[in-house]
Structure 1
Amino acid sequence: MATPSNYHRVETPAHLQQLLSADLHRVSVLYFRADWAEPCKTMDNVTTELATRWDQVLFLSIEAEALPDISESFEVDAVPYFILLRGHTLLTRLSGAQPAVLSAALKSHASKPSTLASSSHQPVAAKTVYQPGEQASGAPEARGTVAGGAQDDDDEDDVDEESDEELQKRCEALMTQSDVVLFMKGDRNTPRCGFSQKIVGILEGHKVDYTTFDILNDEGVRQKLKEINEWPTFPQLVIKGEFVGGLDVVKEMEEAGELLEMIQG
């Protein structure tokens, strides 16, 4: 099937912003995907077909791992994942390969007239606009926010009595608690995102002895590790105290035979 003219592969955060800003009245479907995720193969065909049927809707395919800044901004922690916007305003979130649900969401939102102001220079309600680099907030399925919630999170962190130096030392201790440490969403028995689940599968497949840390239970560690390792997303794999990378790096190392060499060396 030929790619419809309203279907685009997003290359950079700036490219996404450009596409979304072109028409603030238009409904957009942000489709977060990854080649390794089997359900995405189904949804690739589904989104292409839907784009053909809904030619007034903008469909944007986003490689979740290759564009971590965008994924993190929208709090995407699994694939396939869909976010429907009108302009920059969040309409709804959908997780998983659910063609019927996605189709119903389009019927619900794409046929409705825009409630945005006619000029992009007019004010938009707080916490409803996506801005690159800001963290998203809002519960799945909610007509909540796409960005702007990060400041509230920072305010909450202010009540934490742990100093930055203490947090630094605690993170360093966590990174060296065993030879292999996986900082992930959830734990090895119940991964809470597809990326974490994939790394767990790699480690389990090679019978690696490793420790996990659920970053969802400790916001301080979650944010500090991004700074220490200069890596914006999770999971993060640490071997013998040295940060290795996320899923894409781990997969490349496994395929090259370097992962086990580093663990066993």
Structure 2
Amino acid sequence: MASQSLPSNYHKVESPEDLQAKLSAALDKVSVLYFRTDWAEPCKTMDGVMLELAKRYEDVLFLSVEAEALPDISESFEVDAVPYFILLRGHTLLTRLSGAQPSVLSAALKSHASKPSALSASSQQPLAAKTIYQPDEKASGAASASGTVAAGGQGDVEESDEELAARCDKLMKQSDVVLFMKGDRETPRCGFSQKIVGILDSQKIDYSTFDILQDEGVRQKLKEINEWPTFPQLIIKGEFVGGLDVVKEMEESGELQEMLQG
């Protein structure tokens, strides 16, 4: 879509620094972060919805984020699917919404944006903020069914750091090739995971997968163990290999098959 057709309050985020600058310049405003990708069909619907809402709510800042081109931002907000929406007031996290749900997004905006243009002001009081977003930190909590942020936690079972590290080591050695990804090989939950599954399948590689969205402890510990901040992560014979870009290079050079045969 041509940039000149965008409303003045609708912007495409170019980098984490760009996001921080835009949010810092609008600390008194409600902002909507829209995480999208070109390949996800529901995003095509929500692209139009976002534009219409931007025209309706002139005092709200609408920010479009390419989820896979800017993984640092996606990771910081725990975005695990697209389309995905984060509503902020300044750096205060108001709510999260996942999926193509125009009516839910519109209702959330009506609740939080005090004076939408062309519409009467909402009689609803803004919902209480659930957490604070710091630009260099991960937003705490996970999205609940209602779209708001629920408190984080691992349930009733406490696991020591040593036990978690040992469990991760065991998971990394569960088979010769293990892919830690978002979703599983049948239903990848992000484009990066989808692409690396395609590479492994095309090379007829026998591998197992682990869905890091189902285990926050493993998700965070693997970032530390492998010194790699994003997913997917490919493990071969118990050793960390890399993410999508590394695996693509290894496939093209023939190194991937060589490593498996070694």
TM-score (norm 2): 0.73
Query: In the aligned structure 1, how far is the partner of 2:241 from the partner of 2:142?
Result: 30
1:64-143 correspondence runs (5 A): 64-110=67-113, 111=115, 112=122, 128-132=131-135, 133-140=137-144, 141-143=146-148
Q: Percent identity?
A: 67
CA distance in 2, matches of 1:115, 1:263: 56
Aligned to 1:120: none
What amino acid does structure 2 have at the position aligned with 1:92? T
In the TM superposition, residue 67 of structure 1 has moved relative to its aligned partner by 2.5
Using the TM superposition, give the Cα deviation of residue 212 of structure 1 relative to its aligned residue in structure 2, in angstroms: 0.7
Change (3 A) 1:129 1:220: closer
Contact 1:215–1:221 (CA under 8 A) maintained in structure 2: yes
The one-letter amino acid paired with 2:20 is Q
Deviation, 1:29, is 0.9
- The runs of 4+ residues in structure 1 deviating greater than 6 Å are 113-116
- Give 1:121's aligned residue: none
Distance 1:108 1:115 in 2: 7
Cα 1:195/1:81, change in 2 over 3 Å: farther
CA distance in structure 2 between the aligned counterparts of 1:193 and 1:9, rounded to whole angstroms: 20
**1:107: Cα distance to partner?**
3.1
CA RMSD of aligned residues (A): 3.5
For 1:53 and 1:47, the matched residues in 2 are separated by 10
1:258 corresponds, among 251, 256, 260, to: 251
Distance (whole Å) between structure 2 residues aligned to residue 181 and residue 233 of structure 1: 16
**2: CA distance between counterparts of 1:108 and 1:161?**
41
**Alpha carbons of structure 1 residues 41 and 205: separation in structure 2 relative to 1, 3 Å:** farther
| Cα distance in 1 for residues equivalent to 2:199 and 2:45 | 23
Query: Alpha-carbon deviations, 1:117-139, whole Å to 9, x = none?
Result: xxxxxxxx995321122333143
Name the residue aligned to 1:122: none
- Which of 186, 205, 209 is matched with 2:206 structurally? 209
Inter-partner Cα distance in structure 1 for 2:159 and 2:166: 16
- Residues in 2 aligned to 1:104 and 1:205: alpha-carbon distance in whole angstroms: 44
Bigger shift: residues 191-200 or 216-225: 191-200
| 8 Å contact from structure 1 (residues 72, 135) kept in 2 | no
SS at match of 2:35: strand
- TM-score normalized with structure 1 length: 0.73
- 3-12 or 126-135, which moves further after superposition? 126-135
Deviates more, 1:63-72 or 1:134-143: 134-143
1:205 offset after TM fit, Å?
5.2
How far the C-alpha of 1:182 sits from its partner, in A, is 0.8
- Report what 2:47 is aligned to: 44
Whole-Å separation in 2 of the counterparts to 1:103 and 1:114? 13
Equivalent position of 1:244 in the other structure: 242
How far does residue 14 in structure 1 lie from its aligned partner after superposition?
3.2
Give the superposition deviation at 1:260.
Answer: 8.5
C-alpha change, 1:130 and 1:204, in structure 2 (3 Å) is same
The residue type paired with residue 54 of structure 1 is Y
CA separation of 1:40/1:27 partners in 2, compared to 1, >3 Å: closer, same or farther? same
Q: Could you list the per-position Cα deviations for residues 95-145 of structure 1 after superposition, in whole angstroms to 9, with x for gaps in the alignment?
A: 1223343334333432449989xxxxxxxx995321122333143434447
Matched with 1:160 is 159
Q: Is the 8 A contact 2:131 2:140 kept in 1?
A: no
- TM-superposed CA distance for 1:7, in Å, is 1.3
Alignment-derived partner of residue 55 in structure 1: 58
CA distance in 2 between partners of 1:85 and 1:201 (Å): 36
Displacement after TM superposition at 1:203 (Å): 3.6
Offset from partner CA, 1:179-224 (integer Å, 9 cap, x none): 4311023433454556545543554455432111233454443222
Write the letter of the residue equivalent to 2:159: D
